[in-house]
Structure 1
Amino acid sequence: MAAAACRVSVFPSPQELGPALAQLVAERAAAAATGGGGGRFSLGLSGGSLVGILSRDLPPAAVGPAAPAGWLVAFCDERLVPPEHPESTLGAYKAQLLPRLPGPGPRVLALTPGLAPAAAAEDYAAQLRQAFPDEDIPVFDLLVLGIGPDGHTCSLFPGHPLLQEKEKIVAAITDSPKPPPERITLTLPVLNAARMVVFVATGEGKAAVLKRILEGEEENPLPAARVRPHSGQLRWFLDEAAAKELTIPLEKHSIL
């Protein structure tokens, strides 16, 4: 991936990264609220460690024009487990973030419980099409994505056939190499249609894969390296531990 294709911001630790990420979300929300998009801010969220980061730092930033009343929140992937299950992304955000946002809260698109994988994917795709009625492929204002040590993002895994999906906006996966095996995920056409995508990665365990993604020119790119918005912006928010092997130009941020 060419360095000029994205901006890479590096922070001393997750504690400094979190407020900057929250400020970015708030800025994009305020821009959507005051722009020509009818006042709605569409936000796609991944789970994992992002839940804790956003839950800690986003609520104080979500005020004024960035208030959540005008947000549409969807999840970039979801495990096929009940909302109360510890692996549920919806459950994690309902427990940690959503109660802390100033009311009235956002509209949240949630997985319909109890459906088989293919039906769950079709149901979630139908929800998205209803929420984005004028777009063949939903165009999110902002997607906040994580990345695994193997280079996966959402539930798009290295070498998996879903990386070639061109038609579906939501796909089912029944053989996830990371448990639980049954999931749904946004596909690359949706990720690459977004107005902005920001990847968040922290910790030394991500350093090697980030070097491959951001500096490598691989014949068969890792899933996260395939996320390159066609007309939108691509950002990376890293801590110093995750960025330690990178030699490309970096925007380094000091402790405030």
Structure 2
Amino acid sequence: MAGRRVVVFPTSVELGPVLAHLVTSRAEQAVNSRGRFTLGLSGGSLVTMLAKELLAVPGLDCSKWVVGFCDERVVPFDNPDSTYGLYKSHLFSKINIPDDAILAIDFSLGVSECAEDYSGKLRKAFPDDDIPVFDLLLLGMGPDGHTCSLFPEHPLLEESQKIVAPISDSPKPPPERVTMTFPVVNAARCATFVSTGGSKAPVLKEVLEGREGPPFPAARVHPTNGELLWLIDEPAAAALTMKVERLGSGAKL
């Protein structure tokens, strides 16, 4: 597949600093060429990894960043399930990103209204794009092959009109969420998966090397005009037979 790189690190310890360098280097490029850097974040273990590594970057300047969320749970921000809440406490409160540059949901709304409201915020933030084009999306993958809140065999996999969709029957709790759809994910200039741990190995093999039957949601991420990166550790890569790149600490993408 053109434009896909699969990069394997010994452990997540070596992966983390390389991810931080990817973010900051793409930020610098975007600010220099377009005046701002647009970043889409996912939750899970990515929160603590990003916070640790970005806060270790000397002179980190986030004043021209605009941050959105690939998906979000419709819960109050002080709920431990809130991705925004976790990033707020671990990262946003410690960097110089403007509050109005963080595109957060309105959790007081019903799930459908919440998705419409968030869609409106994205459109306002990307007034020149029919579909928002993020400079970098950081994605995760569940052991079932889902990404964002796009789950296997769910009707939202075929959504082509909405840029943000509600989901009220998530197979993974909490059930009510809003999620970017594939048109937005695949419009990104760069989509980067971060996948670590041996529990991901079986599904990662099927996502990257193919499977019988419908592809997993994570396998449907193919940026139309952008890059696709997979940053994984050796335990997650254990079942792969394909050719991959292997990098250690201090590497740069």
TM (normalized to structure 2)?
Answer: 0.95
For the 8 Å contact 1:152–1:222, the answer to whether it is kept is yes
Matched residue, 1:182? 176
Matched residue, 2:42? 46
Aligned mate of 2:146, from 124, 143, 152: 152
Matched residue, 2:229? 235
- Aligned residue for 1:57, secondary structure, equals helix
d(CA) in 1 for partners of 2:19, 2:150? 23
- Aligned residue for 2:187, secondary structure, equals coil
Give yes or no for the alignment of 1:128 onto 2:88.
no
In structure 1, stretches of 5+ residues that fail to align are none
Give yes or no for the alignment of 1:78 onto 2:76.
no
Aligned residues: 249
For the 8 Å contact 1:55–1:100, the answer to whether it is kept is no
**What amino acid is the match of 1:30?**
E
Q: Between the two proteins, what is the percent identity of the paired residues?
A: 55
Give yes or no for the alignment of 1:171 onto 2:169.
no
Give yes or no for the alignment of 1:92 onto 2:90.
no
**What amino acid is the match of 1:154?**
C
- Aligned residue for 2:142, secondary structure, equals coil
d(CA) in 2 for partners of 1:241, 1:50? 17
For the 8 Å contact 2:141–2:193, the answer to whether it is kept is yes
Check 1:81–1:62 CA distance in 2 against 1; reply closer, same or farther (3 A cut). Answer: farther
Check 1:75–1:62 CA distance in 2 against 1; reply closer, same or farther (3 A cut). Answer: farther
Offset at 1:60? Answer: 2.9
For the 8 Å contact 1:112–1:120, the answer to whether it is kept is yes
Offset at 1:74? Answer: 0.3
Matched residue, 1:209? 203
Which has the higher mean CA deviation after the structures are superposed, 6-15 or 214-223?
214-223
d(CA) in 1 for partners of 2:97, 2:10? 34
In structure 2, stretches of 5+ residues that fail to align are none
- Aligned residue for 1:10, secondary structure, equals strand
* Superposed structure 1 runs of 4+ greater than 3 Å apart: none
Question: Which string of whole-angstrom CA distances, capped at 9 and with x for unpartnered residues, describes residues 33-66 of structure 1?
Answer: 111x1x11000000000001001001233736xx
Offset at 1:249? Answer: 1.6
Aligned mate of 1:58, from 50, 54, 57: 54
Offset at 1:72? Answer: 0.3
Alignment RMSD (CA, Å): 1.3
For the 8 Å contact 1:194–1:229, the answer to whether it is kept is yes
For the 8 Å contact 2:195–2:232, the answer to whether it is kept is yes
Check 1:200–1:104 CA distance in 2 against 1; reply closer, same or farther (3 A cut). Answer: closer
- Aligned residue for 1:61, secondary structure, equals coil
